[in-house]
C-alpha cells in the first residue's frame, strides 16, 4: 500500500487534528457514516482498526496501545474488574457491524463508571457496583437453568415460576424482571457463562 495518498489533516473517526491521514478504507457495506466527525481522512491509528478485521470480528479490550482480543464470555472478567490504566472495551455479538467507532473518541479513566462499545446496543454506561449485583443474580438464575433468552425477555415460563416458588427463589425472578430493558443487564447476560 505504498502508493496510498498521504496528507496532513483531521481524522473523521477519532477526531484527531493535524495528523497524517489516508483515504478512508471503508468497504461498500460500511454503515457507520453517521458516527463520523468532520475531517479530511482516516489517521493511521484508526486505519489499523479497519484493516485488522479482528477489531470487528472479536470482542476486545484496549489498554494504552495494547489491544487483546477475546470471545464475548471472556470479557466478563474485564467488566467486573477493569484495568487501572485508561482502557476501552468492545463487545460484539454479530461480528459484522463496526460498532467501535465511538470508542475511538472515548477513553475510560474510572474503574467504577465507564463506557463500553457494543454492536448490539451502541455505547453503554457501566456502573461497576450495579453490574456486580446483576452478575450475581444472573449466575444464580443460570444455575437454576434459566436461558439467556428468558433473562433478556423476562418471559419466565410458568414451570420456572412454580419451581422458584417451591424452592424459594421467586424473589430472584422478580429482581430479574426489574432489570429488564436495562442496557447493563443485557450486557451482563451476554457475557454470562
Ligand atoms: Zn483517527
CA of 117 to the centre of ligand 1 (A): 17
Q: Enumerate the domain spans of the chain.
A: 1-51, 129-191
How many angstroms separate the CA atoms of 148 and 154, rounded?
10
Residues 6+ apart with CB under 8 A from 63: 83, 85, 86, 87
Q: What confidence score (pLDDT) does residue 65 get?
A: 86
CA of 75 to the centre of ligand 1 (A): 25
Q: What is the pTM of this model?
A: 0.91
pLDDT in tens, 136-172: 999 999 999 999 999 999 999 999 999 999 999 999 9
Euclidean distance between the first and final Cα of the chain, in Å? 42
CA of 180 to the centre of ligand 1 (A): 36
Q: What confidence score (pLDDT) does residue 31 get?
A: 86
How many angstroms separate the CA atoms of 156 and 142, rounded?
13
Whether pLDDT at 179 is above 60 = yes
Q: What confidence score (pLDDT) does residue 95 get?
A: 86
Average pLDDT of the residues in 104-124: 94
CA of 25 to the centre of ligand 1 (A): 12
Which ranges of the chain does DSSP label H, i.e. alpha helix?
Answer: 44-51, 54-57, 76-80, 128-143, 148-153, 158-167, 170-179, 183-191
Average pLDDT of the residues in 11-24: 94
Average pLDDT of the residues in 7-26: 94
Hey, which of 46-50, 76-80, 101-105 has the most confident mean pLDDT? 76-80
The helix-helix angle for 170-179 and 128-143 (nearest 10°) equals 140
Q: Which residues surround ligand 1, an ion (CB under 5 A)?
A: 11, 13-14, 43, 46
Q: What confidence score (pLDDT) does residue 4 get?
A: 57
Instruction: Count helices and strands (H / E) in the chain.
Output: 8, 8
Average pLDDT of the residues in 116-135: 96
CA of 94 to the centre of ligand 1 (A): 24
CA of 178 to the centre of ligand 1 (A): 40
Indicate the pLDDT class of residue 129, thresholds 50, 70 and 90. Answer: very high
State the residue for C-alpha cell 479497519.
50
CA of 16 to the centre of ligand 1 (A): 6
Assigned C-alpha cell, 6: 498521504
CA of 133 to the centre of ligand 1 (A): 36
Amino acid at each position: 500500500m505504498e502508493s496510498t495518498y498521504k496528507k496532513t489533516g483531521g481524522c473523521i473517526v477519532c477526531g484527531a487534528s493535524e495528523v497524517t491521514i489516508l483515504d478512508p478504507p471503508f468497504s461498500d457495506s460500511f454503515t457507520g457514516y453517521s458516527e463520523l466527525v468532520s475531517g479530511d481522512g482516516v489517521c493511521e491509528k484508526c486505519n489499523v482498526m479497519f484493516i485488522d478485521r479482528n477489531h470487528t470480528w472479536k470482542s476486545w479490550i484496549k489498554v494504552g496501545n495494547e489491544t487483546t482480543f477475546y470471545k464475548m464470555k471472556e470479557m466478563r472478567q474485564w467488566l467486573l474488574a477493569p484495568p487501572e490504566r485508561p482502557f476501552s472495551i468492545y463487545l460484539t455479538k454479530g461480528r459484522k457491524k463496526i460498532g467501535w467507532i465511538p470508542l475511538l473518541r472515548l477513553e475510560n479513566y474510572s474503574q467504577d463508571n465507564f463506557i463500553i462499545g457494543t454492536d448490539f446496543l451502541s455505547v453503554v454506561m457501566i456502573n461497576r457496583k450495579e453490574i456486580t449485583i446483576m452478575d450475581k443474580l444472573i449466575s444464580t438464575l443460570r444455575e437454576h437453568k434459566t436461558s439467556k433468552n428468558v433473562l433478556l425477555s423476562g418471559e419466565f415460563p410458568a414451570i420456572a415460576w412454580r419451581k422458584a416458588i417451591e424452592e424459594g427463589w421467586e424473589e430472584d425472578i422478580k429482581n430479574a424482571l426489574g432489570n429488564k430493558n436495562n442496557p447493563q443487564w443485557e450486557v451482563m447476560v451476554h457475557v454470562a457463562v
